[in-house]
Amino acid sequence: MIINGKQIAEKVYVQLRNQISKLSPKPCLGAILVGYDQSSMRYIRQKQKWAEDLGITFELKQLPENIGETKLLELIQAWNSESHIDGYIIQLPLPKDIDAQNIINAISPEKDVDGFHPENQGKMLIGDPSGFVPCTPAGIMKIFESLEVNLEGKNIVIIGKSNIVGKPIMGLLVNAGATVTSCNSKTPSIRAYTSNADIIISAAGKPGLLKLDMIKIDSIIIDVGFTVVDDRIYGDADFDNINIAGPKITPVPGGVGALTVAMLMENTLKAYKKNRK
Amino acid sequence: MIINGKQIAEKVYVQLRNQISKLSPKPCLGAILVGYDQSSMRYIRQKQKWAEDLGITFELKQLPENIGETKLLELIQAWNSESHIDGYIIQLPLPKDIDAQNIINAISPEKDVDGFHPENQGKMLIGDPSGFVPCTPAGIMKIFESLEVNLEGKNIVIIGKSNIVGKPIMGLLVNAGATVTSCNSKTPSIRAYTSNADIIISAAGKPGLLKLDMIKIDSIIIDVGFTVVDDRIYGDADFDNINIAGPKITPVPGGVGALTVAMLMENTLKAYKKNRK
């Protein structure tokens, strides 16, 4: 059965549109884009489209590839103290001469709507709701909420250990009372874990990694893989075979990705409420 | 086979004593103790003894049970800007009228040698070595280092999901490339996980939880349980039977606990180096 990410996102958008319509001034989301990477520009345009659709002001700072770390840090400091910017994001990846973690650490945690700053990651881990949860993990939690899954006591397997998806979703699910296993490319047999899992979250970026014979027939598959081969987009799971067989599964695209942008907008509204009170 | 925590800690102390002997002025560790809890006073005395043994100045602020959150926050602010205090700890638990997380969040992350502040927890999770790692998880990593265990690809099961032990050690082990499962009191069958584990870390505080027939004969057992019954201290594991059978196991006391204090001293030296340069 297909889990329709767009439909779940649309419900979030209806609520956000309604709440934002009552606000004046409107929330403002900033975005910093360095260079001219095609995918990054596409992501930024998508975020801009949704922000404006919801009534959020979108402010884009487009910077040349050779901006350099010092100058970029100055711009970040300026936005940290700009009161009309409620929250902002730095579109990743950054050019190789810039230390991305340095840049992320410089964002004010109060405006870090991507939830990548160590303080927000820490709050997420210890279960302090005052911070910002990274958008993709937050979107996955929204899917579970929408499916009315009781996570307590569930056997959940996560494939991949990135700072953006794998580790934060692990923290959120442990806090929700699930039994959580984190697998990675060094795990001798992924199958040994997935075959007993109630829920599998795959964020490996390896098309074909997750096959029907590796999973339970009543499991839920959240596919965070996103790999482009010959202009076609693939998730990690063998979607067609799994979908026919019975498990609930998110498609790629149209699954988790749709929620990621919605959660960015939810975080922006949260920043507005925190910073303007 | 017994893993001798005291012996491993002693090696750490030898190195610290040597490094600290060359420093002037000496590092200073502060401690705030609220109330007169017997166990807390015992822990504080133990930390003081080791600090002074290593040449670290120990400054204790003992406060009455009824100090209140506002006054305590003022004292924390004072210590945050006191340049001679390199790092400090607030002995937990705090009286019930004080929100412990509020207090922890008020400690300057640069002086948070217990590693409980969200920023330090976040740095630990994302693998940024500039923060402070909580002492018990850091002590467990020191045990693995001492045993020369290659953690990559290992199947590790953690029982317990506290902010002080279970969740941080999960983050550290995932970062080290292990396959890590976090179990808790809602896990239907702990045995289903422990029976295949190469390493088990039990921080449940339930004597007798981990029995010989639940583990592999060549596994490593790290027992973080600490329960006092009739003046006797118990870990989570059935120590005697497991020890005779073959697995490597930490005793309670004399295992992880010995390392916890050593790691606090290591964090204090790290704070000194960071804050006085």
Whether B152 has its CB under 8 Å from any CB of chain A: the answer is yes
Question: In this structure, are B56 and B150 located in the same domain?
Answer: no
Q: What is the pLDDT of residue B127?
A: 97
* pLDDT (tens digit per residue) in B247-267: 999 999 999 999 999 999 999
Question: In this structure, are A57 and A151 located in the same domain?
Answer: no
Question: In this structure, are A66 and A180 located in the same domain?
Answer: no
Of A86, A91, A111, A248, which residue is the catalytic one?
Answer: A91
Of A86, A111, A112, A114, which residue is the catalytic one?
Answer: A114
Which of B49, B80, B112 corresponds to the end of one domain?
A: B112
* 8 Å CB contact of A163 and B131: no
Whether B128 has its CB under 8 Å from any CB of chain A: the answer is yes
Q: What is the pLDDT of residue B271?
A: 98
Pick among B181, B193, B199 to test the A interface (most A CBs inside 10 A): B181
Active site residue B91: yes
Q: Of A117, A122, A181, which has the smallest distance from its Cβ to B179's Cβ?
A: A181
Question: In this structure, are A36 and A87 located in the same domain?
Answer: yes
Q: What is the pLDDT of residue B73?
A: 98
Whether residue B277 is predicted with pLDDT greater than 90 in this model: the reply is: no
Q: What is the pLDDT of residue A276?
A: 87
* 8 Å CB contact of B120 and A122: yes
Active site residue B114: yes
Closest CA relative to residue B143, chosen from B234, B269, B263: B263
A57 within a domain of the structure (yes/no): yes
Taking only residues 169 to 208 of chain A, the set having a beta carbon closer than 8 angstroms to any beta carbon of chain B reads 170-171, 174-175, 177-184, 186-188, 192-193, 196
- Kindly list the residues from chain B whose CB atom is less than 8 angstroms away from the CB atom of residue A108: none
Quote the radius of gyration of chain A (alpha carbons, Å).
Answer: 19
The Cβ-side half-sphere exposure at B112, using a 13 Å CA radius, reads 22
Q: What is the pLDDT of residue A144?
A: 98
Whether residue B276 is predicted with pLDDT greater than 90 in this model: the reply is: no
- The arithmetic mean of pLDDT across residues A82-101, rounded, is 96
A189 within a domain of the structure (yes/no): yes
Q: What is the pLDDT of residue B13?
A: 98
Continuous H helices in chain A: 5-21, 38-54, 69-81, 100-106, 118-126, 135-146, 166-175, 190-194, 239-245, 256-275
Q: How many domains does chain A have?
A: 2
A85 within a domain of the structure (yes/no): yes
Number of Cβ atoms within 10 Å of the Cβ of B61: 15
Question: In this structure, are B142 and B235 located in the same domain?
Answer: yes
A1 within a domain of the structure (yes/no): no
* pLDDT (tens digit per residue) in A209-251: 999 999 999 999 999 999 999 999 999 999 999 999 999 999 9
Separation CA A83–CA A123 (nearest Å): 24
| Chain A nearest CA to B166, separation (Å) | 10
Whether A64 has its CB under 8 Å from any CB of chain B: the answer is no
Question: In this structure, are A87 and A193 located in the same domain?
Answer: no
Question: Residue B98 maps to which CATH number?
Answer: 3.40.50.10860
Question: In this structure, are A249 and A168 located in the same domain?
Answer: yes
Helices B166-175 and A166-175: crossing angle in degrees, nearest 10, is 160
Whether residue A183 is predicted with pLDDT greater than 90 in this model: the reply is: yes
Average pLDDT, chain B: 97
Whether A111 has its CB under 8 Å from any CB of chain B: the answer is no
- pLDDT bin (cut points 50, 70, 90) of residue B119 is very high
Active site residue B47: yes
The conformation of residue B213, written as its DSSP 8-state character, comes to: G
Separation CA A220–CA A252 (nearest Å): 15
* pLDDT (tens digit per residue) in B136-164: 999 999 999 999 999 999 999 999 999 99
Whether residue A277 is predicted with pLDDT greater than 90 in this model: the reply is: no
Whether A100 has its CB under 8 Å from any CB of chain B: the answer is no
Separation CA B61–CA B85 (nearest Å): 12
Average pLDDT, chain A: 97
Sequential DSSP letters for A128-159: -TTS---HHHHHHHHHHHHTT---TT-EEEEE
Which of B65, B97, B112 corresponds to the end of one domain?
A: B112
Q: Of B117, B126, B196, which has the smallest distance from its Cβ to A121's Cβ?
A: B126
Separation CA B231–CA B227 (nearest Å): 10
- Asked if B268 and B26 touch (Cβ cutoff 8 Å), the reply is no
- Asked if A263 and A142 touch (Cβ cutoff 8 Å), the reply is yes
- pLDDT bin (cut points 50, 70, 90) of residue B123 is very high
Separation CA A150–CA A223 (nearest Å): 19
A12 within a domain of the structure (yes/no): no
Please list the helix, strand and coil fractions of chain A in percent, rounded to the nearest 5, in that order.
Answer: 45, 15, 40
Question: In this structure, are B184 and B82 located in the same domain?
Answer: no
Q: What are phi and psi of B182, to 5 degrees?
A: -100, 115
Domain containing A29: what range? Answer: 24-120
* pLDDT (tens digit per residue) in B191-249: 999 999 999 999 999 999 999 999 999 999 999 999 999 999 999 999 999 999 999 99
Whether residue B21 is predicted with pLDDT greater than 90 in this model: the reply is: yes
Query: What would the two tokens of residue B68 be?
Result: 């209140």
Which of B112, B144, B159 corresponds to the end of one domain?
A: B112
Closest residue of chain A to B181, computed from CA coordinates: A181
Q: What is the pLDDT of residue B103?
A: 97
- The arithmetic mean of pLDDT across residues B44-65, rounded, is 98
